[in-house]
Amino acid sequence: MKAHKNQPPEGKSSPAKERESARQSASTGYERFAGKGTLTPSTPVQYVKGVGPARAEVFARLGVHTVGDLLEYYPRDWIFVPEPVKIAQLRPDQTTTIIALVESTDYQDYRRTPLFEVMVSDETDTCRLIWFHGGYLRNQLQPGQVIMATGKVSFFKHQLQLTNPKFTVLEEGHTRGDPYFSGGVYPASARLSSGQIKRIIVPLLDRLDDLVNEFHEPAFLKQALLIGRQDAVRWIHRPPDEEKLAKAKRRLKYDELFLMQLGLALRRYRTLHFASATACPCSDEIDSRIRRRFPFLLTEDQSACISEIAADMNRTEPMNRLLQGDVGSGKTVVALYAALLAVANKTQAAIMAPTEILASQHFISMERYLKNSQVKRVLITGGLTGRKRAELLEQIRRGDIDLVVGTVALLQKDIEFRQLGLVVIDEQHKFGVHQRAELRKDGTPHCLVMTATPIPRTLAMTAFGDLDVSIIRHAPPGRGAIVTRHVDRRHLAHAYDFIRERLKVKKQAYFVYPRISAVEETGKDIKAATDGWQELSQEVFPEFKVALLHGQMPLAEKQRVMGEFRKGKIDVLVSTVVIEVGVDVPNATIMVIEEADRFGLAQLHQLRGRIGRGESKSYCLLFAETENEVARNRLEVMTRTTDGFEIAEQDLRIRGPGEFFSARQHGLPDLKIANIIDDYELLVMARKHAFELVSQDPMLAAPQHRNLRRTLVAKFGETLGLADVA
Ligand code: ADP
Ligand code: MG
């Protein structure tokens, strides 16, 4: 994130010095460097016993660079075995575990019941292991191996015996009594086995006094039912029992979530306090002047969002708010309200969209509300060049233009404002925290981010955790229901008949073909739509007007086609996913999605949002032929619900947080042990704790927060852009 104009005052604790001292303290300060062999969390992993330069490279590929990383290289699974017993101590009728050396093996297949017999020994005695029908074991057990076996003890022919025991062959290098067979199972690589990793980590567990420091206060730990951090690290790698493992997991998950939330809380504090925007107070007069522009009453949700936004804009702390609402829920109206409020306060407003189509769509729909308005507004497109462009930019710079609409790229490039009071960013379904940060180059305007992708509560708290959130949950009244059906090939003719009936009564339809995702494949994508268009126009619906729209068409051509569709001159619009953004035609009540199995849930939901905008009932037909379970699952969710939030939660569940949203891409630390879905309760607790802490001690300056501050800077300082605060 870029530095703000208003930095915290430089003084004896300048950010750079702080960072440096934190770095030093990691090596020389708190965990004092006491001579050769002393490890600290920041010691390169190479210097750990058993590693060395070659293995350090292998570790680097596993993301492990320092001793601290190594301690956070948590097992992916754990094995619990009972304490082994010496053979001399075995008692008949007990179920026991022994560790012993294989002396000999013998397969007796001449018996009626074939039998595999193994003689083992330890330093106290010998024992016989037998498996009925054990022929398959001939390849697995050989003399010289050390095995761990668990089974019921008997006394047979003067010899101790385990019958059909469960066993594990201990890795080479294990000796009898080796402590490394139980405990963690580590994610391994071809060049580093789980056992090798374990033998490197376990000895470190005796030195945790130097390596792990506690950063929560005892009273808090007690009240939150969390164990100490050192115990947690020790037990996650070498849990004495399941209960202690569970406690260790809980504590480490909590810390991970807590540190993330603390980073977010600090980032938020900084935007609020070290930058200032123009206060844009709203009066009853301004409010009613703006509301009069809309030919309808604002919904309750819209009004509530507007109050929240107006309260934010009334302050000099810059607004940093996310406006969520499904496609068609009425966000544009709310954004326009905010823009007009900024203009009423003699500042400029910019509205940015991800694509030109969407920007021009915004402009068109805003024009509907701004007839005869004094507000000077302009749409900046890529097609605008030369003198005309230069002139417009000059007018914006002088402050002669109040409201500027364009794409994010255009507005970021070379446009200078006289006084930018508000930036609205319509992200549709693309999250872009980075764009938000970059925008702030022209001072710090109030910032409203709009998204049509309902964000599951867990993500709202993490990915967007430093934003305030306003939600439009219910669409404006008078919308017809949407019926969604999964249609397979066998019922195609029937589906076409159904559509034909609707077209006859002057309803309109969309046919969407999938994008094949990669850029170089866009060609195919157009081809699919082109082929589809030919088939539909010539064979299926020759009596109707069927038109084609795709992303590679010139903007003017696209606008013409969309204009005609809007006016009802086109019955069927065949398209690639370009229509995902920017079409609002209430009379279009049919949405056919071809090869629907190839779309993600979020995209399917977006597409469906194009219908159901008028009063009549709408139909979404998902054409798909697939046996793929995940795809069928998605289609099933679509037919079951139209609630965007439910769909988003399902999407997150099906895809997992990693795929749904890459944390690292957005400047957040990757989570190693916690999972924002499964550990929701801990997340809520961590968030509350972190935000309270920052409100009490925003610089983490209190002595009792010293360790915490250090941990935070050492760990996430750079990625969270926190270094100048913490
Ligand atoms: P979004 O930006 O969330 O996709 P829009 O603001 O474009 O939604 O609104 C979708 C449609 O609903 C538009 O045609 C708009 O005129 C209409 N609309 C918005 N708010 C209301 C309202 N309060 N009452 C009736 N219609 C509304
Ligand atoms: Mg919109």
* 561-570: long-range pairs with CB below 8 Å, 24+: 565/508, 568/506, 568/508, 569/545, 570/508, 570/545, 570/546
pLDDT tens digits along 261-271:
898 888 888 77
Q: Would you place residue 40 in the very low, low, confident or very high pLDDT band (cuts 50, 70, 90)?
A: confident
Closest approach atom of ligand 1 to CA 478: 25
514-520: average pLDDT: 49
Q: Whose CA is nearest to atom 27 of ligand 1?
A: 476
Q: Would you place residue 527 in the very low, low, confident or very high pLDDT band (cuts 50, 70, 90)?
A: low
128-150: average pLDDT: 91
CB 100 within 8 A of CB 145: no
Instruction: Give the distance, in angstroms, between the CA of residue 423 and the centroid of all CA atoms in the same chain.
Output: 25
Cβ of residue 331 lying under 6 Å from some atom of ligand 1: yes
User: Which amino acid would we find at residue 218?
Assistant: P
Ligand 2 geometric centre to CA of 331 (Å): 6
* Percent above pLDDT 70 for the chain: 84
Closest approach atom of ligand 1 to CA 331: 3
* Percent above pLDDT 90 for the chain: 48
Q: Would you place residue 399 in the very low, low, confident or very high pLDDT band (cuts 50, 70, 90)?
A: very high
Q: Would you place residue 696 in the very low, low, confident or very high pLDDT band (cuts 50, 70, 90)?
A: very high
Ligand 2 geometric centre to CA of 552 (Å): 22
Structural domains in the chain, CATH included, are: 17-77 (no CATH), 81-181 (2.40.50.140), 284-314+330-451 (3.40.50.300), 489-624 (3.40.50.300)
343-351: average pLDDT: 96
CA-CA distance, 675 to 74, in Å (whole number)?
A: 14
3-state secondary structure of 118: strand
Q: What is the pTM of this model?
A: 0.66
Tokens coding 434: 């980075």
Looking at residue 166, its pLDDT comes to 86
Looking at residue 433, its pLDDT comes to 46
pLDDT tens digits along 530-555:
888 999 999 999 999 999 988 788 88
* Pocket mutation for ligand 1, best pick of 333, 429, 587 (most atoms within 8 Å of C-beta): 333
CA-CA distance, 293 to 306, in Å (whole number)?
A: 15
Ligand nearest the Cα atom of residue 587:
1
Looking at residue 173, its pLDDT comes to 54
Ligand nearest the Cα atom of residue 330:
1
For residue 368, pLDDT over 80 is answered with yes
Ligand 1 geometric centre to CA of 328 (Å): 6
| Between 131 and 606, residue with greater pLDDT | 131
Q: Whose CA is nearest to atom 6 of ligand 1?
A: 330
Cβ of residue 40 lying under 6 Å from some atom of ligand 1: no
Looking at residue 499, its pLDDT comes to 97
Strand partners, 129: 118, 162
Residues 6+ apart with CB under 8 A from 62: 73, 187, 189, 192
Cβ of residue 708 lying under 6 Å from some atom of ligand 1: no
Instruction: Flag the least confident range among 28-32, 283-287, 558-562.
Output: 28-32
569: number of Cβ within 10 Å? 12
Cβ of residue 577 lying under 6 Å from some atom of ligand 1: no
